Amino acid sequence: MKNWKVAAAVLAAGCMMLSGMTAVFADETEAVDFSAVETVSEGKLIVGTEAGFAPYEYLVGDEVQGVDMDIAQAIADKLGVELEIQNMDFDGALLAVQQGKVDIVAAGVSVSEEREEVMDFSTKYVDSKDVVVVNADAPAVEESSADALAGKTVGVQQGNIADLWVTDNTEAGSVQRYTKFVQAAQDLANGKIDCIVMDEAPAIELVDSSDGKLTILEGDALFEDSYAVAIKKGNESMKAAVDAVITDLIESGEMDAIIASHSSAQEAETEA
């Protein structure tokens, strides 16, 4: 009987400890003092983005929509401020957050060691893989591999992780850098470049909106990476707030719903 009582006491203590640990994890987001987070402009969360990367960010008329914008809106809501979206070149957005001109960058930003030296990153919210897009009628590249890009004219988005990867890992004949993928798509359709290296999700959107002119090469991905929100280096309070919101979106299943809601988005480049 004595041993039974001891075992019961140990079991009860273990359950209390497990319950306590669960409560700690559940309270992580609640522990963040969102009211203490300072923004670049009082009463606003300014997000930098480049609205040519559907489904993560794209234009519908003059309005920027997409997965990243929904994430940014969730962060703004939690902070109790208005969301202000600044649409700019990708390189410019990354520079703006480093200089403290925007609060965050949500633009399908890949995490890399080089970038981590000059900016902080939130919890990763999606894993991605990069693919090769070619002219459907006259593909100049026939295999999804680094070797197949040797001597080819490869289109990338300037400053994008694909830009860095192609430069460092292939013997491409030349690398054509674009501020918007729609520009690269036009050149590829017209035979001015041999292929585009880009993330699979926006590649699917780009191909779907090309009227059959473009296609994605089958085979393994060229490489894989992950996306996160970029934050000014050392802004710990903003990072804690963004991490908490992203973690909540993931664990609640809302992140999956956000991604699904933009899965059929078309890259509508209508800005002047």
pLDDT at 263: 77
* pLDDT (mean) for 9-32: 47
**54/115 same-domain check:** yes
pLDDT at 28: 52
| 226-260 pLDDT tens trace | 999 999 999 999 999 999 999 999 999 999 999 99
Residue with tokens 């209508």: 270
* pLDDT (mean) for 85-92: 96
| 103-149 pLDDT tens trace | 999 999 999 999 999 999 999 999 989 999 999 999 999 999 999 99
**113/248 same-domain check:** yes
- Note down the domain range covering 216: 129-224
CATH number at residue 139: 3.40.190.10
**177/248 same-domain check:** no
**116/233 same-domain check:** yes
**95/168 same-domain check:** no
pLDDT-above-70 percentage for the chain: 86
As to burial, measured by CB atoms within 10 angstroms (0-12 exposed, 13-18 middle, 19+ buried), residue 160 is buried
Is pLDDT of 24 > 50? no
**120/143 same-domain check:** no
**183/211 same-domain check:** yes
CA distances from 260 to 2, 49, 53, 57, 254 (A): 57, 20, 16, 14, 10
**154/108 same-domain check:** no
- Closest by CA position to 102, among listed 66, 75, 126, 127: 75
**160/217 same-domain check:** yes
Q: Is residue 157 within 8 Å of residue 199, measured between CB atoms?
A: no
Tally of structural domains, the chain: 2
CA torsion sign for 260, 261, 265, 270 is: negative
**144/168 same-domain check:** yes
Q: What is the pTM of this model?
A: 0.77
| 30-57 pLDDT tens trace | 689 999 999 999 999 999 999 999 999 9
Q: Which residue has the higher pLDDT, 187 or 30?
A: 187
pLDDT at 8: 40
Alpha-carbon gap, residue 56 to 58, rounded angstroms = 7
| 259-268 pLDDT tens trace | 999 975 443 3
pLDDT at 62: 94
Pairing of strands 223-232, 126-135: antiparallel
Record the tokens describing residue 163, joined without a space: 């830009």
